[in-house]
C-alpha cells in the first residue's frame, strides 16, 4: 500500500517547502496539507486542522487513510518568549495529540522535529555533542526537550516509529520564517534583493548553527527513509548544515550586491542566541544514515538570490 502523508503546520516556513518535496516523492494525491490557518496559494488537498484537538486530528486521519504524519506545528523561540504558557500548551498538546493518534491509528511513521534550542548555556558552545546537557533557557527549548523525551517514550513503550532532527536555524526562500531567533538570516536576503538597508537584531559576531532549506529537506527524507535498524537515536538527532555570524553573512551578500548596507540593534533575541551553541557535532547522523550537508555559505547565498529574484520577477508580472 502507498503511504498517505499528513503534514501538520503545512503553511509554515518548513511546511511550504516540504509539501512539494513530498509530493515529488509520494505523488500529489498522497500528501495532505493541514494547518490552523488557511493557505494563501496552495491548490492541493488541504484540511483546516487545529492539532491540539485530538478528535479533529483523528477524523482527518480516518478520512484520508493517513499512514504517516509530519508534525511541523509549533510556536518558535522568539514568539514563545512573549507568552510562555501559551507556547508550552500549543507545543505539548499538538505533539501529544499526534503521538496518541499514531498509536490509536497504528501509523507507520511519524516525524516530529526538535531544535538546537534544546541546548542551553551548560551544553558546550562549539561542536555541541548529541548527549550534551539539556538545560535550555527558553520555553520553546523546554517544550522541545520534553517532546524529544515523549517521542522516545512512545517508541520504547508502544513501538511507535517516531523520528526526529534537531534542526538548526533554517534559511529558505519559499516563505517567511515564523518567529524564531535565526529569522534574521532570511530577512536579510529580502532586504538585500529589494535594495534596502537591513537592521540586524543580533550582534555581528553571534555565530549560530544554520542549515539551507535544500539540505534540511534532504536530511528529513534521508532520516525518514532510513531502515529502522539504522535509527539509534530515538529522542532527536543532532543535525548540522553550516555555522555563520551576521557579519559573515553580510560580507558574503556584499560579494553579490556590493551596495548592500546593514546596521546592528540587538534586542531580546541576543540573549536567546547567546544561550545556544555556535556549532553542532552531528557525527551520529553521519554514521547512522550517511548524512552530509551540501551547501556552504557562498552557495547558499547565491541560491537564495537566484530564487528570490525569480519570485520578485514573477510577482511584478502584470
Ligand X SMILES: NC(=O)c1ccc[n+]([C@@H]2O[C@H](COP(=O)([O-])OP(=O)(O)OC[C@H]3O[C@@H](n4cnc5c(N)ncnc54)[C@H](O)[C@@H]3O)[C@@H](O)[C@H]2O)c1
Shortest distance, position 95 Cβ to ligand X, whole Å:
9
* Segment near ligand X (CB under 6 A); pick from 20-28, 47-55, 219-227, 269-277: 47-55
Cβ atoms 291, 219 nearer than 8 A: yes
Among 31, 61, 73, 272, binds ligand X (CB under 6 A): 73
CA distance 214 to 100: 31
CA distance 189 to 299: 14
The partner residues of 32 in beta bridges, in order of sequence, read 6
Q: Build a one-symbol-per-residue string for 287-316: x at contacts with ligand X by CB under 6 A, - elsewhere.
A: ------------------------------
Using the minimum distance from each CB to ligand X, give the nearer residue, 135 or 254: 135
Among 61, 66, 170, 304, binds ligand X (CB under 6 A): 170
Identify residues 4-43 at the interface with ligand X (CB under 6 A): 8-9, 11-15, 35-37
CA distance 317 to 260: 25
Tell me if residue 140 is catalytic: yes
Among 70, 111, 167, 189, binds ligand X (CB under 6 A): 167
* Segment near ligand X (CB under 6 A); pick from 46-54, 99-107, 121-129, 293-301: 46-54
Cβ atoms 174, 72 nearer than 8 A: no
Using the minimum distance from each CB to ligand X, give the nearer residue, 147 or 301: 147
Please report where in the chains the cell 508502544 appears, as a residue: 158
Under the binding rule (CB under 6 A), the answer on residue 72 touching ligand X is yes
How many residues bind ligand X, per CB under 6 A?
A: 30
Nearest to 76, CA basis, from 150, 155, 2, 186: 186
Among 23, 50, 247, 274, binds ligand X (CB under 6 A): 50
- Grid cell listed for 292: 552530509
* Segment near ligand X (CB under 6 A); pick from 48-56, 98-106, 232-240, 299-307: 48-56
Q: Which of 26, 42, 70, 140 is catalytic?
A: 140
CA distance 209 to 182: 9
CA distances, 104 to each of 59, 65, 291 (Å): 12, 13, 32
Using the minimum distance from each CB to ligand X, give the nearer residue, 15 or 30: 15
Q: Is the dihedral of CA 164, 168, 173, 179 positive or negative?
A: positive
Shortest distance, position 107 Cβ to ligand X, whole Å:
17
Give 124-131 contacts, CB < 8 A, sequence gap 24+: 124/277, 125/277, 125/278, 126/277, 126/278, 126/279, 127/279, 127/280, 127/281, 128/238, 128/277, 128/279, 128/280, 128/281, 129/238, 129/281, 130/233, 130/237, 130/238, 130/281, 130/284
Under the binding rule (CB under 6 A), the answer on residue 240 touching ligand X is no
Using the minimum distance from each CB to ligand X, give the nearer residue, 36 or 254: 36
Using the minimum distance from each CB to ligand X, give the nearer residue, 14 or 273: 14
Active site residues: 140
**What residues make contact with ligand X under the rule CB under 6 A?**
8-9, 11-15, 35-37, 49-52, 72-74, 76, 90, 94, 113, 115, 167, 169-170, 177-180, 182
Amino acid at each position: 500500500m502507498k503511504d498517505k502523508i499528513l503534514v501538520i503546520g503545512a503553511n509554515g516556513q518548513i511546511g511550504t517547502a516540504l509539501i512539494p518535496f513530498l509530493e515529488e516523492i509520494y505523488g500529489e494525491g498522497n500528501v495532505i496539507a493541514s494547518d490552523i490557518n488557511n493557505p494563501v496559494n496552495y491548490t492541493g488537498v488541504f484540511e483546516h486542522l487545529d492539532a491540539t484537538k485530538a478528535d479533529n486530528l483523528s477524523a482527518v486521519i480516518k478520512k484520508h487513510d493517513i499512514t504517516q504524519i509530519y508534525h511541523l506545528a509549533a510556536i518558535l523561540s522568539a514568539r514563545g518568549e512573549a507568552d510562555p504558557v501559551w507556547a508550552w500548551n500549543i507545543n505539548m498538546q499538538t505533539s501529544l495529540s499526534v503521538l496518541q493518534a499514531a498509536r490509536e491509528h497504528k501509523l507507520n511513521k511519524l516525524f516530529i522535529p526538535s531544535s538546537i534550542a534544546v541546548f542551553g548555556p551548560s551544553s558546550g558552545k562549539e561542536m555541541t555533542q548529541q548527549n550534551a546537557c539539556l538545560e535550555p533557557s527558553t520555553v520553546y527549548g523546554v517544550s522541545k526537550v520534553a517532546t524529544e523525551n515523549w517521542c522516545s517514550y512512545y517508541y520504547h513503550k508502544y513501538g511507535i516509529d517516531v523520528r526526529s532532527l534537531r534542526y538548526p536555524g533554517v534559511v529558505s526562500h519559499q516563505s517567511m520564517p515564523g518567529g524564531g531567533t535565526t529569522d534574521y538570516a532570511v530577512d536579510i536576503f529580502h532586504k538585500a534583493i529589494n535594495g534596502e538597508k537591513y537592521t540586524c537584531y543580533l550582534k555581528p559576531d553571534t555565530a549560530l548553527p544554520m542549515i539551507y532549506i535544500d539540505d534540511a529537506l534532504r536530511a528529513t527524507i534521508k532520516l525518514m527513509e532510513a531502515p529502522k535498524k539504522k535509527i539509534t537515536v530515538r529522542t532527536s538527532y543532532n543535525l548540522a548544515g553550516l555555522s555563520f555570524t551576521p557579519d559573515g553573512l553580510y560580507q558574503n551578500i556584499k560579494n553579490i550586491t556590493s551596495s548592500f548596507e546593514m546596521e546592528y540593534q540587538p534586542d531580546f533575541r541576543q540573549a536567546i542566541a547567546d544561550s545556544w551553541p555556535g556549532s553542532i557535532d552531528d557525527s551520529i547522523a553521519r554514521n547512522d544514515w550517511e548524512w552530509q550537508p551540501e551547501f556552504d555559505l557562498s552557495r547558499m547565498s547565491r541560491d537564495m538570490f537566484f530564487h528570490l529574484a525569480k519570485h520578485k520577477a514573477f510577482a511584478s508580472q502584470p
